[in-house]
Structure 1
Amino acid sequence: MSSSSNTYRITIVGAGIIGLTTACTLLKEYATNENLQLTIISEKFTPETTGDISAGYWEPYGLKTIDERILRWAGYTYNIFLSEFFSIKASCSGIMKVSSYRLYGFNGQNKDNNINNTEKPKFSKLVRHFRLLDQHELETFDHLKPTSGFVMSSIVVEVSKYLPQLLRFLSQDNRVKFIKKKIHSLIELKDQADVIINCTGLASRYLVGDQTVRPARGQVIRVYAPWIKSAYSFDTDEGVGYAIPQSDRVVLGGTFQLNDWNTKVDENDTRKILRMCAKALPALEQIHSGRVDVGLRPYRDDGVRLEHEKTIDGINVIHCYGHSGAGVTVSWGCAKDVVDIVKTLLPPNSKRQDNLPEHEQLWRLIPNFKYIILRAKI
């Protein structure tokens, strides 16, 4: 521990949505600890993170199994995002509540006949307005000829807007320090922190030698399609496609290519994504271009690693990585569990009683003074 029993030195490695939600949760729980020293170290900050590329759609996705732990994290996060949508944060932070359709099967057949797609997914109990589609509703998508499907209220978080707001909130606290740097080994931080929180995603493959972490390459296209107001995910003869609206664009996807380290645009993937999406939403046939982004999801064979480790070097490390395509979906829930572990190692002072809603306790919207001054001059 630190030389002073009142000073807690906590370092977070990684500044994606997992790292920053963890930082915000720490500030809530240690609100009355004036001697908290929170350092966030990352090779990349927004808009260069993997999350900035993602569609930011809430649904447990890309995970080998969805267990009770995942459901607990996802449910907690869903409720935070939903409350933020019904708050002043929605516009600045890029939070949208959307109807979301999932369609199974194509041309009247299921690719995997062993899957019963008339059953509700495990996460159905977490969301609002979930229901299976009846035959009449399925006929609306008769050009796809799906065999079954459901609709629910989901959340889309524009990560490229959300992360800057979290950063601005964190930067207002003089206990928080940011360092842009690549960490090659946690031993570099041994004498600089009492607790290290590893939120490095795919980089954990090298930082802590976890060879079960590998890339799941994702390529998406951001297009101008203002008539699309709901999210759609659907089966086609070429794979699963999706269309997810954001504030001024629609994200079309996608790919989930395990063990593919290629971060360059693949034109074959671009054409395939456009073909798939046009099969579900024919008006997209007129779309021939858009901004194409590529990111590498941090897939882990054994699922998310969230646990405390005391290394042979005597370092207290809390790992939180391997979220695959569900980083946004489980972010606040994982942050809560990480901070609960930190509290067992570094007990905080008595928590400040606050009558604010939960999401306002986690982080507050900080005014953009440059924007305010600009408007004043207009």
Structure 2
Amino acid sequence: MSGGTADVVVVGRGVSGLATALVLTERGHRVRVWSRDPAAATTSAVAGALWWPYRIEPEALVGDWALETLRVYEELAESPGETGVRMVAGTHGGERFSSLGPWAARLAGASEVAGGLRVTLPLIDMPVHLGWLERRLEAAGGVLEQRTVHSFEEAAAEAPVVVDCAGLGARALVPDPGMRPVRGQLVVVENPGVHEWFAEADPASSATTYFFPQPGGLVLGGTAEADDWRMDPDPRTAEAIVARCARVRPEIAGARVIAHRVGLRPSRDTGVRIDAEELPGGGLLVHNYGHGGAGVTVAWGCAEAAARLVG
């Protein structure tokens, strides 16, 4: 595909950008995806990636987006080795149906137990899943280009529709000063035999406690540090993460550390933005960004919403 031969340029190559590009491509649009970084270097690639509407607004819309995405993941989980999606049982510590939105009543097999809410949910191996999304997109005719985007007008010069899935990049591109990083730090250890996930958030703290059994190791977390742009792992934070997880499963304390990861969640003060506007020089700009800590959870629902605005 050469310049001027696309119907849509999608800006961003994380899970939201790839899902949106795939929905559009499979509906017959000629799509190019522009991104400074490959998918493996995006925030999506380091996500712990348990399906759950975490740190995302607006609450009135999130439930439907999340449930629509859940249905997709349930289908993809039939081929876990290929898609990276598995259905895994676990416990949300301290959660009760009464504290959650109406969407929680739609979770098949979920039950309240002494420690919280027990439920089987999609757990996604993000490097595998992003690779699957890229292969499926290219097989459908989409084109992936590693290209730094300096303005939406630059993209509009090559396609009549531009879709903004730039994540934190929207802070400068839109510009949208309401976009803020929420720093998340993870520790990956050799799995000492943990087969179920656990997650518990402390609303009064930036610390969370979770462990997710992934094929490449047990992912331990985490943090939710607002307005923190640091990308280097903090050793003391890592020690605290391991200690919190070991209080739930003591065998984690002695597990060998494989890796440390840091990602910046693309949070937005007023929640997810999905809308459309005319660009000053002509062309349609559709926004789909600000997914906070739940980009994986709402990816397909938001992709469908954005695609409806493209037409």
TM-score normalised by the chain length of structure 2: 0.92
Structure 2 counterpart of 1:127: 107
Taking the TM superposition and a 5 Å limit, the aligned residue runs for 1:78-227 are 78-86=70-78, 89-104=79-94, 117=96, 119-122=98-101, 123-133=103-113, 138=114, 149-173=116-140, 175-227=141-193
Structure 1 counterpart of 2:286: 318
Provide the rounded CA distance (Å) in 2 between the counterparts of 1:194 and 1:29.
16
**Aligned-partner residue type, residue 149 of structure 1:** G
**Aligned-partner residue type, residue 241 of structure 1:** T
**Aligned-partner residue type, residue 152 of structure 2:** L
Provide the rounded CA distance (Å) in 1 between the counterparts of 2:135 and 2:53.
28
Gaps of 5+ in 1: 31-35, 105-115, 139-147, 344-378
Structure 1 counterpart of 2:240: 272
1:9 to 2:1 alignment: no
Contact residue 78 and residue 127 of structure 1 kept, 8 A: no
Structure 2 counterpart of 1:23: 21
Name the CA shift for 1:99/1:120 in 2 (closer, same or farther; >3 Å): farther
**Aligned-partner residue type, residue 110 of structure 2:** F
Name the CA shift for 1:311/1:251 in 2 (closer, same or farther; >3 Å): same
Taking the TM superposition and a 5 Å limit, the aligned residue runs for 1:33-52 are 36-52=29-45
Contact residue 160 and residue 284 of structure 2 kept, 8 A: yes
Equivalences, count: 305
Taking the TM superposition and a 5 Å limit, the aligned residue runs for 1:236-251 are 239-251=207-219
Provide the rounded CA distance (Å) in 2 between the counterparts of 1:20 and 1:66.
24
Which protein is richer in strand relative to its size? 2
Provide the rounded CA distance (Å) in 1 between the counterparts of 2:200 and 2:155.
46
Contact residue 120 and residue 132 of structure 1 kept, 8 A: no
Match of 2:52 among 48, 54, 59: 59
- 1:288 Cα deviation from its structure 2 partner: 5.0
Match of 1:72 among 57, 64, 74: 64
**Aligned-partner residue type, residue 242 of structure 2:** L
TM-score normalised by the chain length of structure 1: 0.77
Contact residue 153 and residue 279 of structure 2 kept, 8 A: no
Give CA deviations for 1:129-148 in whole Å, capped at 9, x if unaligned.
11111xxxx3xxxxxxxxx5
**Aligned-partner residue type, residue 93 of structure 1:** T
Q: Which secondary structure state, in structure 1, belongs to the residue aligned with residue 223 of structure 2?
A: coil
Larger radius of gyration: 1
Provide the rounded CA distance (Å) in 2 between the counterparts of 1:96 and 1:37.
31
Which runs of at least 4 in structure 1 moved beyond 3 Å after TM superposition? Answer: 235-239
Q: Which secondary structure state, in structure 1, belongs to the residue aligned with residue 187 of structure 2?
A: strand
- 1:117 Cα deviation from its structure 2 partner: 4.8
- 1:151 Cα deviation from its structure 2 partner: 0.7
